[in-house]
Amino acid sequence: MESTNQKQHWENIYASKNEQDFSWFQEYPKTSVAFLSLFDLSKKSNIIDIGGGDSHFVDALIELGFENIYVLDISEKSIERAKKRLGENAEKINWIVSDVTDFTSSVKFDFWHDRAAFHFLTGEDKIEKYVRVAEQYINQKGYLILGTFAENGPDKCSGLEIKQYSEASMSYRFEKSFNRIKCMQETHITPFNTPQNFLFCSFQKK
């Protein structure tokens, strides 16, 4: 799908549905927070949530006392929604509307989190672009956490084709510049009570 169509897809989704209608919705992102807790990050670390949308991960980051938080999403509407939900706390966040594959930044990140955004990149060129962007903007020794549908997970999300990953296929993409730390499978239960198998892996920039 073209980038403009992708954007329009997500703008429509966020304009027309409540968070409880999203299959990916989590009241509390416990696996993401568990990965974050593995690393001894300073509260001043630069942390970015890629394809963060209206996720509650940003709420958890604020609650944990992190001071330099960035949320990037292709959808402006998703960011508007997150800002509204957070109220005054929204001012503590750096909000970025961009396709991640076009992202440029003047800061580099110590912790890069992506739950269910990377897997929407299905073409080789876009996947490669994502890897290059992550390589460019993650600090040396910085962490990358990716959550995608696993090989025994769904093959679509939000009506769009996705790419499933195994520990090996995800590691293969990032191994040039990152060391793999740990992977785990998670069964996410959607708000409609259906299971979805995710794979989460953490990497450290060489």
Residue range at the interface with ligand SAM (CB under 6 A); choices 36-44, 74-82, 181-189, 191-199: 74-82
The residue among 50 and 183 lying less far from ligand SAM, judged by its C-beta, is 50
The nearest distance, CB 116 to ligand SAM, in angstroms, is 4
**Torsion angle (degrees, nearest 10) of CA 170, 175, 181, 184:** 10
99 binds ligand SAM (CB under 6 A): yes
- Interaction mask 146-165, ligand SAM, x per CB under 6 A: -----------xx-------
What is residue 79's three-state secondary structure?
Answer: helix
Residue 55, interface with ligand SAM (CB under 6 A)?
Answer: yes
Q: Is 31 in the site for ligand SAM (CB under 6 A)?
A: no
Q: What are phi and psi of 41, to 5 degrees?
A: -90, 140
**Residue 51 binds ligand SAM (CB under 6 A):** yes
CB 50 within 8 A of CB 57: no
Token representation of residue 176: 């040039």
- For 135-177, the DSSP string reads HHHEEEEEEEEEEEEBTTS-SEETTEE---B-HHHHHHHHTTT
| 10 lies in the site for ligand SAM, by CB under 6 A | yes
What one-character-per-residue DSSP string does 174-204 give? HTTTEEEEEEEEEEEEPTTS-EEEEEEEEEE
Query: Does 198 participate in binding ligand SAM (rule CB under 6 A)?
Result: no
Q: State yes or no: residue 145 binds ligand SAM (CB under 6 A).
A: no
Instruction: State the binding string over 107-126 for ligand SAM (x if CB under 6 A, else -).
Output: --------xxx--x------
Would you report the helix, strand and coil content of the chain in percent, each value rounded to 5? 40, 30, 30
Select the span of 37-45, 47-55, 62-70, 187-195 touching ligand SAM (CB under 6 A): 47-55
Q: In terms of CB distance, is 6 or 46 closer to ligand SAM?
A: 6
Interacting residue ranges for ligand SAM, rule: CB under 6 A: 6, 10, 24, 51-53, 55, 73-75, 78, 99-101, 115-117, 120, 157-158
